[in-house]
Structure 1
């Protein structure tokens, strides 16, 4: 599910402050990057058996290199996904997400957005 209209997509920010901000808000990049792209995930546990939810914020380098730590990242529309063990994460619109989970996800993304905007490249 796309979390649209949260005003985070298209923000340009240097990779170093972005990594710091995302870590502060418990979004983990771990090994999910290459030279041109980054992916940050926030894990939300569930009482449902074998189900975990993830908020995913992705971005891509418009200049520089992620590996070298000098990239300028353009953020994309965040996603809310549902992980089905052992099959993987589904982000499709046909997935059902509890309304309280969607609201929680939006608030978490807005918290990141507010801080990212303070470091935005204009």
Structure 2
């Protein structure tokens, strides 16, 4: 599921600011990066299953591995985890309404916190 109207896809932010701010909202980068891309995940383990809210981006300038990059954010996504295959984002997936509302709230807070650092 894509979150279409967050406005985050218009943000370009220094990687170090993302690494500082997103964990405050439970979005962790951990090992989900390469030299050009990053993914911040927040895991939800609820009775309907395991879900991941993902905020992804790609470097428009610099090198992620060197912690010296500007990241263009993309539309956030929500996916359901299936063992052992991975995360599915399809339109036919079921996403509990309360989870979608919580994710929207988190994304609004993230946008508010990142706005002062938007370089776009």
| Structure 2 length-normalised TM | 0.95
Structure 1 Cα separation of the partners of residues 114 and 90 of structure 2: 27
Structure 1 Cα separation of the partners of residues 106 and 91 of structure 2: 20
Alignment correspondent of 1:62: 60
1:86 equivalent among 84, 87, 94: 84
Runs of 4+ in 1 over 4 A off after TM superposition: none
Alignment correspondent of 1:19: 19
Deviation at 1:86, TM superposition (A): 2.2
Aligned residue-pair number: 120
- Bigger helix share: 2
1:105 equivalent among 103, 106, 116: 103
Structure 1 Cα separation of the partners of residues 108 and 98 of structure 2: 15
Structure 1 Cα separation of the partners of residues 108 and 93 of structure 2: 22
Deviation at 1:10, TM superposition (A): 2.3
Alignment correspondent of 2:114: 116
- Bigger strand share: 2
Q: Which runs of 5+ in 1 are unaligned?
A: none
Q: Indicate the RMSD between aligned Cα atoms, in angstroms.
A: 1.0
Alignment correspondent of 2:38: 38
| Structure 1 length-normalised TM | 0.94
